[in-house]
Every structure is written in C-alpha cells, then in structure tokens.
Amino acid sequence: MNANLNEFNIKTFKGPYYDYVPEWYGAVGAQIVRTMLINSIMPYVSLATTILIPYVKRMLDSKDPYKTKKTSMAAFKALWSGGDYVIHFKYS
C-alpha cells in the first residue's frame, strides 16, 4: 500500500505518497506490469496443465486403454475418464 490517505481520515493507508508523483510510478508501475504479465500468461498455463498432465499420465500408463497397468477399476476410471468439468466457471 503506497497511498497515504491521512488527509481523508483513513488511517489504514500510511504509505509514502500523497499523490501521483514520478516516484510513485517507479514504485508501483513495476508491480502493475508484473501483475499484467502474470494475468496474461495464466489462462494458457491452466489450459496446458488441464490438458497436458492427464495426457502424459495416460501415455505413461499405456497408449491403448485396453492394455493398462492399473490394477483396479477405480484407478483405471480416474485415469482415463478425466477430471470433473466445473461448469460454474464458464457459465457464472
């Protein structure tokens, strides 16, 4: 929190900057850019992890689902049926 809002009787923000000054941009600008970069990459990271990790686990088990290394039906279903589809993220 870099804002100092003592003039508005808000005591929770006790930062060094009362207004937008060039030093504020130097201190806060890098954080804003870093946040924007992370938010631009995260959709692709989450997509890659939800697709690639199960695919690699299936390939390590076997390329053919009829010749599996799993010893129980529950483990086989957990590997080959995939995870739960969370619909409330898409249609919220």
pLDDT tens digits along 56-72: 998 999 888 788 898 89
Low-confidence residues of the chain, pLDDT below 70? 1-7, 10-11, 13-14, 17-18, 89-92
For Cα atoms 29, 32, 34, give the angle at the middle one, nearest 5 degrees: 110
CA 89 to chain centre: 13
pLDDT at 87: 76
pLDDT at 23: 79
- The enclosing H or E element of 59 equals helix 22-61
pLDDT at 50: 83
18: number of Cβ within 10 Å: 12
If you search the block for the tokens 């299936």, which residue do you land on? 58
Whether pTM exceeds 0.75: no
